Amino acid sequence: MKSFRTLVQRDLLLAVREGGATGTALGFYLVVIALMPLGLGPDLQLLSRIAPGVLWIGLLLAALLSLGRMFDVDQEEGVLEVLTTGALPLELVVAAKALAHWISSCLPLAILTPILGLLLNLELAAYPVLVVTVLIGSPAISFLGSVGAALTLRSRRGGLLIALLVLPLYIPTLIFGISAISAVVTPPGSLEASLLLLSAVTIASLVIGPIAAAAALRAQLG
Amino acid sequence: MADENTIAPDRGSGPGLEVTNLSVERGGRRVLSDLSFTVSSGEALLIRGPNGSGKTTLLRTIAGFLSPISGHIRLAGDEEQPLRERIHYVGHLNGVRASLMVEENVRFWARYLGGSEDRVSAALERFGLASLASIPTGYLSAGQRRRLALVRPLLAFRPLWLLDEPSTSLDARSTAVLAEAIDEHVSSGGIVVAATHLELGIARSRELRLGFAAEQA
């Protein structure tokens, strides 16, 4: 457990030191959402109707930007092979790095989400549930994303490839995230069921992501 | 040299690393075939051979990064503990992050590899890195970074050291420090397997010569 905490702390320290990733994700998210009203015109009703979906999709895309860096510098500098000689199984190494990615990338994006909701005239009732769905759903972004990051480790310019591999995996998170919000904004619909399913997707990803990513990393170490 | 290359009866204090009938393929080419040797604890094995003869492949296989197509690797000792926790691997790459300070890199490895943080400053001192402790690793020269990588085995005791060309870009003084560290580890009952052209000048070392047919000489 000490190794796990040490690795998470190191990754967070690196995220602060190397900056870039978090700032880029936040900036990208802001710009994408700010462009929406410009592109769609000042139709407030239209904006507030599509706001939850646009915010969720923007968040997914912004979080993708930093996924590629989850393993690649560690691999280039030989850190990854030494990490495999610690007390942690590779699955937990992946979990620690995915957790650090969630804290350094997804959490700031989740905090920015309600602020960006203002730009899209998001309905007042939707704010709390939007924040809750983003917080519950976003760990899946990091943990499923780790699979894409591990698979594309050796490929040059793997960034786009990650998006192709990983975005389809985010569909359940997106669907249940949006359906929870629309249950509140445009009843009928069951908020509870959507939130439970969203949690189930996240919990499954916490398990499946590290196992699949560790298998991919083992193949790449060879 | 032939007498040194044959599998000598154990000269050390007991069984250590045992490699039996190891065959490894890389990219469809058989790099190591039916390689067997033992290194007893308290002994260093120096792997020699031309480029491409499988020195790195052998080390990476022992470390568990590559899986052999046949053969066994056994390390005597606590069998409960997985092999990965009983080795130190220093490969071609140094395993340090450029944006962390020298000391942060070392402290991270000490904590992560289950070593003691008390050893950090002594280990840095030993390789002459103490004065660089609070400099970002990215500013170090190649030789200094290599020294930083070699600090790692000193942080936590693990019986088997796997060193791949450890003396690359080291100056004469640091090479002597490295040889001394290896000597110390070996005389305290550890095992060192190193692919190196360095003459370590230690009594309890043997050579394993790899050829392209991956036969022992």
DSSP string, chain B: -HHHHS-PPP-SSS--EEEEEEEEEETTEEEEEEEEEEE-TTEEEEEE--TTSSHHHHHHHHHTSS--SEEEEEE-S-TTS-GGGGEEEE-SS----TTSBHHHHHHHHHHHTT--TTHHHHHHHHTT-GGGTTSBGGGS-HHHHHHHHHHGGGTS--SEEEEESTTTT--HHHHHHHHHHHHHHHHTT-EEEEE-------SSEEEEEB-TT--B-
- Exposure of B23 in the CB half-sphere (CA atoms within 13 A): 9
Angle at B78 between CA B126 and CA A221, to 5 degrees: 70
Q: Assess B80–A contact: CB distance below 8 Å, yes or no.
A: no
Structural contact between residues B19 and B71, judged by C-beta atoms closer than 8 angstroms? yes
Q: What is the CB neighbour count within 10 angstroms for residue A199?
A: 15
What is the pLDDT at residue A101? 93
Say whether B66 and A82 touch across the interface (CB within 8 A).
Answer: no
What is the pLDDT at residue B115? 80
Say whether B100 and A83 touch across the interface (CB within 8 A).
Answer: no
Bridge partners (DSSP) of residue B29 are: B26
Contacts of B67 in chain A (CB under 8 A): 222
Domain ranges of chain B: 12-209
Q: Assess B92–A contact: CB distance below 8 Å, yes or no.
A: yes
Distance from the A165 Cα atom to the nearest Cα atom in chain B, whole angstroms:
25
Locate the chain B residue with the closest alpha carbon to A87.
B85
Q: Which two tokens stand for residue B197?
A: 């052209």
Out of A77, A83, A87, the one facing B93 most closely (by C-beta) is A77
What is the pLDDT at residue B8? 40
Q: Assess B96–A contact: CB distance below 8 Å, yes or no.
A: yes
pTM of the model: 0.87
> In a 10 Å sphere around its CB, with 0-12 CB exposed, 13-18 middle and 19+ buried, how is residue B141 labelled?
exposed
Q: Assess A19–B contact: CB distance below 8 Å, yes or no.
A: no
Place of tokens 């190193």: B194
What is the pLDDT at residue B27? 83
Mutate to test the interface with A, among B69, B89, B112, B145 (most CBs of A within 10 A): B112
Q: Assess B108–A contact: CB distance below 8 Å, yes or no.
A: yes
B12-209: CATH class: alpha beta
Cα separation values, A118 from A24, A44, A123, A128, B113, Å: 21, 11, 9, 13, 47
What is the pLDDT at residue B4? 38
Distance from the A166 Cα atom to the nearest Cα atom in chain B, whole angstroms:
26
Locate the chain B residue with the closest alpha carbon to A76.
B93
The predicted-structure confidence for B2-17, as pLDDT tens digits, reads as follows 333 334 444 445 668 8
What is the pLDDT at residue B202? 67
Say whether B93 and A76 touch across the interface (CB within 8 A).
Answer: yes
What is the pLDDT at residue A113? 92
Structural contact between residues B105 and B136, judged by C-beta atoms closer than 8 angstroms? no
Q: Assess A222–B contact: CB distance below 8 Å, yes or no.
A: yes
Locate the chain B residue with the closest alpha carbon to A17.
B99
The predicted-structure confidence for B156-215, as pLDDT tens digits, reads as follows 888 899 999 888 888 888 888 888 888 888 888 889 998 887 676 666 778 888 875 544
Structural contact between residues A28 and A105, judged by C-beta atoms closer than 8 angstroms? no
What is the pLDDT at residue B217? 38
Q: Mean per-residue pLDDT for B126-146?
A: 88
The share of chain B scoring above pLDDT 90, in percent, equals 6
Out of A3, A17, A73, the one facing B112 most closely (by C-beta) is A3
Say whether A85 and B109 touch across the interface (CB within 8 A).
Answer: no
Q: Mean per-residue pLDDT for B89-97?
A: 89
For chain A, residues with pLDDT lower than 70 are: 158
What is the pLDDT at residue A100? 93
The predicted-structure confidence for B146-172, as pLDDT tens digits, reads as follows 999 999 999 888 889 999 988 888 888
Distance from the B109 Cα atom to the nearest Cα atom in chain A, whole angstroms:
9
Q: Which residues contact B180 (CB under 8 A, 6 or more apart)?
A: none
Q: Assess A82–B contact: CB distance below 8 Å, yes or no.
A: yes
Structural contact between residues B90 and B193, judged by C-beta atoms closer than 8 angstroms? no
